[in-house]
């Protein structure tokens, strides 16, 4: 229960913040959110399952609401508050703006920091080895099969100089210029090689950053880091889930990121080649380790790696002979995820062999780490070996994950499995892939049932007016005590914007629709104002751009320059009093913030239906059909409805904004699902021709 003193703390903090905000207006929706978040985390709705799912419309001030509702409670209960986001933009906003402002003016004292995955930091040892052109180091990473260019060498040297002169903290995000992937892969920190217990790594930027975690009250992370911690059992990278209140902002991304994180892939011939290199490497490592046990582990590793190679050659020969019907993308998907019996048998053998190899290599890796800590092996000799063994451990883990799944029978969760044929100049290979279709069970077991409490929020969590689609995807459907909250925007939609559905002569499904758009669009553009036109596909956008540029229209197009440069050019034109026309796809609308005069005319060319072309989407549709469902109504329509709300949400960012939305897709009024979509949009003034 919320104590009177806690209620008082929250109330005072809210009042203090209100006094510091310009043009502050009390918002009933924000007050409601603060109260509901606090009550949920205090256990007023359910003693053990303290979770609320919030759809907060634009302008509700959700970040302030969750800070006010969750932080005082976390401090009082001695819990950590972890705020997880999907985008770097929101992380930067929280770290650079929202949290400093809240700390300065709320009257609540707390410490906060941004926590990044170790791959965002350099390993100093690897950086110095790369600068000194250590051949062993350069041969480890697959991307360095070709030598670094002069430009890449210069970048490497510049990074090293900046770090040594204390002009750079050693994390990728704080380096102002772009660091090429090839260079970064050489010097990035990894969990196997860069270990804190080794003296040579005590001062690596990642470990220095991690030491600060225990002193922090609020940690800002991304969804990928959250999942990385859950994969390790929770509490390894981040604080223990049972000691943590989580705020999952941009929560609509969480199911898809979880799915990507749970997938696995590996080639056949490529794997055989690196297993051969592993055999040579393990002998070198065994000779360096002081313990005699290393010899036995080396024999086990060699036997297991040889077995894995033998089984993989059998698979290679089978796939070369197999008469699979590959599609235009050289991909063959196993129907219902069912792998042929012959491949399942081989998969079990490969999974067993890779697990044995992984165990042996891990023991050798640990033994060498101990030798260095004990002073029996010098760090400069061990470090390159630990870096290389770390690379092989990562590969073996991924390999085992893939083949263990291919060997699985009678699994409770459906998987998409497919093969992609890889054609090279002088040879070919096969890439085998695996991805779970549903991940709700994973989040339920690893997070929701373990954490002290959680707040999931986004501007778009409902689909067609219901939380069902999201709650099923995220593992919250049917869970006791989960509170679902919809907080409406404070905007006066009827007065601020008009939604126009003009009559059109061509259906969006017609192949002449792109030509129709090229002819029709000019009459809906306002050349003196800020325009944003959103397309359902890059192909259609490019087709229309080519036609309109022939008519001398000046258009800024997504993909022709960076997002930052695009928006900068757009804003500069508006600031000069000229109009601007910005063209983009659905991906541009995600997180796009163009308040006031920077967007007054929004045109959506088509309902953003996704075509199930990826093997995962196809498998998902197939699974729903097998259960007697309709994939179009179960997945495609709800997803498109959320995207349409998101797209329309670009127009009004502040209570003083105004403008017009035009949608050139009559299915919103002619189809039953279209009417349902239309009803979920904000209550703009409507003009339906």
- In angstroms, the CA 259 to CA 242 distance is 24
Question: In angstroms, what is the C-alpha Rg of the chain?
Answer: 28
The pLDDT tens digits of the residues spanning 353-398 come to 999 999 999 999 989 988 888 888 887 788 788 888 888 998 999 9
- In angstroms, the CA 302 to CA 276 distance is 10
Comparing CA positions, the residue from 38, 55, 51, 36 lying closest to residue 488 is 55
Place of tokens 């609320």: 52
- In angstroms, the CA 659 to CA 596 distance is 9
| Predicted pLDDT at 23 | 66
Q: Which residues of 492-512 are buried (b: 16+ CB within 10 A; e: fewer)?
A: ebeebbbbbbeebebebeeee
364, HSE (Cβ side, Cα atoms, 13 Å): 34
**What is the overall mean pLDDT for the chain?**
88
Q: Does position 550 have pLDDT exceeding 80, yes or no? A: yes
- In angstroms, the CA 226 to CA 309 distance is 34
More confident residue, 506 or 146: 506
| Predicted pLDDT at 145 | 45
- H or E element: which one contains 687? strand 685-688
Question: How many CB atoms sit inside 10 A of residue 251's CB?
Answer: 24
pLDDT category at 237 given cuts 50, 70, 90 is confident
- In angstroms, the CA 617 to CA 543 distance is 26
pLDDT category at 140 given cuts 50, 70, 90 is very low
More confident residue, 37 or 144: 37
| Predicted pLDDT at 133 | 65
Structure tokens at 578: 């000229």
What would the mean pLDDT of 258-272 be, rounded to a whole number? 92
pLDDT category at 686 given cuts 50, 70, 90 is very high
| Predicted pLDDT at 369 | 87
What would the mean pLDDT of 545-556 be, rounded to a whole number? 90
pLDDT category at 292 given cuts 50, 70, 90 is confident
What would the mean pLDDT of 630-645 be, rounded to a whole number? 89
Question: How many CB atoms sit inside 10 A of residue 222's CB?
Answer: 23
The pLDDT tens digits of the residues spanning 192-218 come to 666 665 666 667 787 777 788 888 999
Percentage of the chain lying above the pLDDT 70 cut: 95
The pLDDT tens digits of the residues spanning 522-538 come to 999 998 999 999 998 89
Q: Does position 152 have pLDDT exceeding 90, yes or no? A: no
Task: Report the DSSP beta bridge partners of residue 430.
Answer: 421
What would the mean pLDDT of 526-554 be, rounded to a whole number? 92
- Let me know: does 633 contact 643? Beta carbons within 8 Å: no
More confident residue, 351 or 233: 351
End-to-end CA distance of the chain: 54
Give the list of residues 6+ apart from residue 459 with CB closer than 8 angstroms, or none. 55, 56, 57, 58, 645, 646, 649
| Predicted pLDDT at 465 | 85
Q: What is the largest CA-CA distance in the chain?
A: 84
What would the mean pLDDT of 462-486 be, rounded to a whole number? 91
| Predicted pLDDT at 142 | 40
Q: Does position 137 have pLDDT exceeding 60, yes or no? A: no
- In angstroms, the CA 350 to CA 406 distance is 10
The pTM (predicted TM-score) of the whole model is 0.84
Percentage of the chain lying above the pLDDT 90 cut: 50
- Let me know: does 608 contact 640? Beta carbons within 8 Å: yes
DSSP 216: -
| Predicted pLDDT at 144 | 37
Question: How many CB atoms sit inside 10 A of residue 593's CB?
Answer: 13
- Let me know: does 452 contact 245? Beta carbons within 8 Å: yes
| Predicted pLDDT at 617 | 86
Residue 603 region by backbone torsions, left for phi larger than 0, else alpha for psi between -120 and 50, else beta: beta
What would the mean pLDDT of 573-585 be, rounded to a whole number? 93
Q: Does position 318 have pLDDT exceeding 50, yes or no? A: yes
The answer to whether the Cα torsion of 59, 62, 63, 65 is positive or negative is positive
- H or E element: which one contains 14? helix 4-20
Q: Helices 379-407 and 269-288 sit at what angle, rounded to 10 degrees?
A: 140
pLDDT category at 449 given cuts 50, 70, 90 is very high
pLDDT category at 311 given cuts 50, 70, 90 is very high
Q: Does position 170 have pLDDT exceeding 70, yes or no? A: yes
Collapsing DSSP to helix, strand or coil, 238 comes out as coil
What would the mean pLDDT of 619-636 be, rounded to a whole number? 88
- In angstroms, the CA 232 to CA 229 distance is 5
The pLDDT tens digits of the residues spanning 403-416 come to 999 998 656 678 99
């Amino acid at each position: 229960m919320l104590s009177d003193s806690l209620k008082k703390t929250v109330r005072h903090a809210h009042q203090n913040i209100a006094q510091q905000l310009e043009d502050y207006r009390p918002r009933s929706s924000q007050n409601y959110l603060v109260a509901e978040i606090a009550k949920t985390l205090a256990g007023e709705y359910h003693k053990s399952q303290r979770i609320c799912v919030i759809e907060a419309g634009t302008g509700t001030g959700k970040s302030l609401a969750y800070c006010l509702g969750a932080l005082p409670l976390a401090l009082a209960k001695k819990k950590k508050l972890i705020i997880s986001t999907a985008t770097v933009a929101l992380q930067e906003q929280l770290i650079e703006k929202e949290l400093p402002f809240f700390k300065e003016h709320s009257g609540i004292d707390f410490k906060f920091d941004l926590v990044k995955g170790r791959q965002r930091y350099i390993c100093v040892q690897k950086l110095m080895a790369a600068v000194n052109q250590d051949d062993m180091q350069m041969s480890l990473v697959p991307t360095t099969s070709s030598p670094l260019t002069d430009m890449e060498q210069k970048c490497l040297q510049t990074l090293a100089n900046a770090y040594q002169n204390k002009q750079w903290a050693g994390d990728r995000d704080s380096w102002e210029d772009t660091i090429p992937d090839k260079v970064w892969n050489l010097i990035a920190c990894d969990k196997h090689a860069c270990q804190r217990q080794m003296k040579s790594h005590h001062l690596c930027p990642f470990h220095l950053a991690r030491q600060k975690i225990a002193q922090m009250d609020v940690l800002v992370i991304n969804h990928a880091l959250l999942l990385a911690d859950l994969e390790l059992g929770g509490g390894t990278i981040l604080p223990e889930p049972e000691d943590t209140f989580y705020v999952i902002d941009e929560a609509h991304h969480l199911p898809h990121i979880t799915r990507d994180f749970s997938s696995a892939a590996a080639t056949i011939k490529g794997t055989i080649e690196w297993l051969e290199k592993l055999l040579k490497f393990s002998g070198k490592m065994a000779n360096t380790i002081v313990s005699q046990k290393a010899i036995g582990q080396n024999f086990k590793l060699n036997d297991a790696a040889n077995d894995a190679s033998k089984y993989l050659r059998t698979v290679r020969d089978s796939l070369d002979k197999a008469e699979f019907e590959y599609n235009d993308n050289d991909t063959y998907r196993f129907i219902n995820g069912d792998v042929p019996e012959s491949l399942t048998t081989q998969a079990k053998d490969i999974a067993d062999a890779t697990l044995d190899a992984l165990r042996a290599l891990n023991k050798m890796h640990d033994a060498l780490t101990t030798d260095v800590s004990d002073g029996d092996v010098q760090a400069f000799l061990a470090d390159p070996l630990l870096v290389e063994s770390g690379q092989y451990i990562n590969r073996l883990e991924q390999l085992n994950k893939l083949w263990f799944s291919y060997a699985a029978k009678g699994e409770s969760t459906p998987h998409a499995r497919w093969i992609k044929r890889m054609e090279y100049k002088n040879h070919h290979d096969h890439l085998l892939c695996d991805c779970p279709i549903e991940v709700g069970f994973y989040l339920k077991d690893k997070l929701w049932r373990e954490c002290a409490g959680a707040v999931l929020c986004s501007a778009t969590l409902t689909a067609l007016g219901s939380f069902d689609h999201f709650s099923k995807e995220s593992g919250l459907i049917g869970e006791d005590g989960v509170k679902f909250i919809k907080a409406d925007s404070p905007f006066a939609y009827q007065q601020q914007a008009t939604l126009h559905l003009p009559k059109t002569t061509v259906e969006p499904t017609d192949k002449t629709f792109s030509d129709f758009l090229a002819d029709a669009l000019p009459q809906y553009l306002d050349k003196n104002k800020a325009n944003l036109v959103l397309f359902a596909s890059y192909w259609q956008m490019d087709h229309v751009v080519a036609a309109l540029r022939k008519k001398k229209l000046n258009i800024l197009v997504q993909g022709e320059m960076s997002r930052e440069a695009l928006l900068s050019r757009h804003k500069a034109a508006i600031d000069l009093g000229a109009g601007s026309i910005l063209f983009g796809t659905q991906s541009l609308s995600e997180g796009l913030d163009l308040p006031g005069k920077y967007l007054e005319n929004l045109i959506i060319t088509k309902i953003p239906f996704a075509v199930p072309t990826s093997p995962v989407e196809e498998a998902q549709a197939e699974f729903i059909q097998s259960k007697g469902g309709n994939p179009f109504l179960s997945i495609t329509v709800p997803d498109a409805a959320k995207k349409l709300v998101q797209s329309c949400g670009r127009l009004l960012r502040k209570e003083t904004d105004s403008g017009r939305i035009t949608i050139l897709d009559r299915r919103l009024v002619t189809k039953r699902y279209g009417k349902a979509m239309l009803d979920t949009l904000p209550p703009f003034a409507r003009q339906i021709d």
